[in-house]
Amino acid sequence: MPRGPTTEQRAKALWHLIKDEIGHVEFRDERIALTAALHVDITNREPSIDKRLTFARDRGDFGTRPTGQPHGYDTLRQWWGAGVRLLAHAVDERLDYLRHHPADWSQYVTESRQPTYRQPSRGAQPVFAELFVTTVFMKGRFVHRRITERLITAQEDDVGYYTARALPEMEDASISVPVRALWGCRAELQPSRPGEPILTRLYFPAPLRRGQQHYFSSEAVAGDVDTERRAINVEVDHFGIAPGRRANAVPTSGLTIRIKFDSDELPESVRWYADVTERERYERPKPGDDRWIVVSSLGEAEHTFDEACQPLANYGLSIQWRNP
């Protein structure tokens, strides 16, 4: 391979290639075995290949046999062995291709930096968001519907639910609407006192163990609330959100916020903000600043946050409406 600045960067490039080929393995069980055994899934912290395979089995990565029983260890080893042979062949073919097309190494020679997250609050929800996509549908100048999709990783054992709230941009926190479950969860409204926001617990089918992932989605539909919205905000009240990534214009990780505007009420401008104060949230950037977002001909605006989203911070899209 081409010589990079350091041996470490060259090694990382080769590791990126191997991980990429694991993702292309055709057979699901062999692919899961490779992901677990080769420590691609960094939440699986077991020290040996054997223990990583059984850990992945015990948390349900491989599913179960038709009888409902977990797969035996010999089966896991067979998938691992078959996966190694498939991976070796794929890597050999890719390396042979790169020998003749050395410029294509550039897709693997990227500096892999693990983001550093600040300490969450004492009462933070014990989950980390791998993917967080919230889509807002406007009606006039107020939010009519908000759908949020989440892929989370539990940060401790026995994580049974995620607490959500839908809070309009008003001084009275009690004027909010309950959240409804859409997929992968069950909604249960929590008791609240006057002046407090309405909270909803989104219960998972079963409590999560530390390192276990779960995808679920929810929505909130406004009733008679007609407050003009000046921002669509996401408060990170958990352990953080992964850096944003997209593939073929589709968010694959991190935080993405989307707004579908009413065709009869388009904004003057939209811009994104990250980890700023309340005052900074509404400051207009200078012309040419990359924080400006183009509203499409369909009345859509979206932004994927490239950097990791920190605990105890707010991220969102700020809206400037046209004069009445």
Domain segments of the chain: what residues? 7-107, 127-320
Query: Could you tell me where the beta strands, DSSP code E, fall in the chain?
Result: 127-139, 142-154, 159-165, 180-183, 186-189, 199-208, 213-221, 231-235, 245-247, 250-260, 269-274, 292-293, 300-304, 314-320
| pLDDT tens sequence for the chain (324 residues) | 666 557 777 888 888 899 889 988 989 999 999 999 997 766 677 788 999 999 889 888 898 888 888 899 899 999 999 999 999 999 999 999 988 888 788 778 764 446 778 889 999 999 999 999 999 999 999 998 999 999 999 999 999 999 998 755 444 544 557 799 999 999 999 887 777 778 899 999 999 999 999 999 999 988 655 678 999 999 999 999 998 988 888 999 999 999 999 999 999 999 999 988 888 888 888 888 889 999 999 999 999 998 899 999 999 999 999 986
Q: Are 308 and 318 in contact (CB under 8 A)?
A: no
Residue among 299, 221, 244, 27 nearest 133 (CA): 244
Would you state the structure tokens that stand for residue 110, as one six-digit string? 């990227």
Would you state the structure tokens that stand for residue 95, as one six-digit string? 């390396």
| SS3 (DSSP) at 78 | helix
Report how far Cα 234 is from the mean position of its chain's Cα atoms. Answer: 13
Instruction: Name residues whose C-beta falls within 8 Å of residue 228's C-beta, 6 or more positions apart in sequence.
Output: 141, 142, 321
Within 3-64, where are the H helices? 7-23, 28-37, 49-58
CATH of 127-320, one of 1.10.3470, 3.90.930, 3.30.160, 2.60.40: 2.60.40
Q: How far apart are CA 309 and CA 118, in angstroms?
A: 10
- C-alpha distances (whole Å) from 95 to each of 15, 50, 90, 105, 197 are 12, 28, 9, 10, 56
Instruction: Name residues whose C-beta falls within 8 Å of residue 217's C-beta, 6 or more positions apart in sequence.
Output: 147, 148, 149, 150, 182, 183, 184, 185
Phi, psi for 30 (deg, rounded to 5): -65, -40
Q: How many residues does the chain have?
A: 324
Residue among 112, 225, 226 nearest 175 (CA): 225
The number of CA neighbours under 13 Å toward the Cβ of 206 is 6
Specify the pLDDT at position 281.
86
End-to-end CA distance of the chain: 61
- C-alpha distances (whole Å) from 265 to each of 140, 181, 192, 260, 269 are 5, 29, 34, 11, 12
Would you state the structure tokens that stand for residue 68, as one six-digit string? 């409902």
Within the chain, where are the H helices? 7-23, 28-37, 49-58, 73-100
Report how far Cα 180 is from the mean position of its chain's Cα atoms. Answer: 20
Specify the pLDDT at position 225.
59
Q: How far apart are CA 80 and CA 89, in angstroms?
A: 14
